[in-house]
Amino acid sequence: MLPIKNRKALISGGGSGIGRAVAAKLASTIPTAIADIQFPAAPLPHIQAFPCDVSSGPAIDELFAQVQHTLGTPDILVCCAGRGIHEKLTEGDPEKWRQIVDVNLMGALRLVRAFVPGMLAQGSGDVVFVSSVAAGQAYPYGGVYAATKTALEVVAETLRLEVLPTVRVTVVAPGVTDTAFFEHTVSGFHTAADLGYGSLAAADVADAVLYALQQPPGVSINHLTIRPVRQPF
């Protein structure tokens, strides 16, 4: 694997969890920016932080202007912002479902539309979508969340076909990961512990992201699935 150098990275959802772990690893070697709706009290060393709600078109426009001004065109875009929901389709709240679609799917699409044209213009780039093992996996109370991740993976493959060979596109699909994801679920009651499969650390998933980014320029890792060893799906 090649070291990551002479590049610039932007990570959505970089204020916590997997996004923060990815940002921390990249910031040790390259200029890195994160976008999120909120940030932890503790500072993130060597990382530029931009408040941004990825579900908002105007917010993405402002993020683009700020990133271009302070960082320039990112060579690496990691779409990590996402929220969970656990509701029965016959009883759930469609307004909450819309929020999940806007963040998990439309947020990534807006980021692609804003930043990938610059990668194409400069002749190279990497886009990483953080998906989930829920993609393509129907399960009770998980229909809306799984649908957004399934759609995200279709978007990723479509983007790969549209931008090859200039921009590499990778999906990283984690299983149960011990982050604040469950605390911020719009509706639901699970924790990483009570699912009973064990869990990954955010840094484990970040290592998978870096594995894809560190490949030689002619090698594209298009899909990585990473799970706790006890997780069956």
On whether the CB atoms of residues 176 and 197 are closer than 8 A, the answer is: yes
**For 5-31, what is each residue's pLDDT tens digit?**
999 999 999 999 999 999 999 999 999
Q: Which residue has the tokens 């997997």?
A: 18
Question: Is the C-alpha dihedral spanning 174, 136, 134, 26 positive or negative?
Answer: positive
On whether the CB atoms of residues 176 and 193 are closer than 8 A, the answer is: no
pLDDT, position 195: 79
Q: How many CB atoms lie within 10 A of CB 117?
A: 12
- The ranges assigned to domains in the chain are 9-226
pLDDT, position 10: 98
Bigger pLDDT: 195 vs 206: 206
Element (H, E) at 32: strand 32-36
209 — pLDDT class (breaks 50, 70, 90): very high
Average pLDDT over residues 147-163: 98
**For 61-119, what is each residue's pLDDT tens digit?**
999 999 999 999 999 999 999 999 999 999 999 999 999 999 999 999 999 999 999 99
Beta bridge partners of 79: 12, 129
pLDDT, position 41: 67
On whether the CB atoms of residues 156 and 116 are closer than 8 A, the answer is: no
Q: How many CA atoms lie within 13 A of 144 on its CB side?
A: 28
Write down the architecture of domain 9-226 according to CATH. 3-Layer(aba) Sandwich (3.40)
pLDDT, position 44: 77
Q: How far apart are CA 153 and CA 194, in angstroms?
A: 27
196 — pLDDT class (breaks 50, 70, 90): confident
Active site residues: 145, 149
Position 203: which residue type? A
On whether the CB atoms of residues 227 and 137 are closer than 8 A, the answer is: no
For residue 65, give both structure tokens: 């202007």
**For 157-191, what is each residue's pLDDT tens digit?**
999 999 999 999 999 999 999 888 877 788 877 77
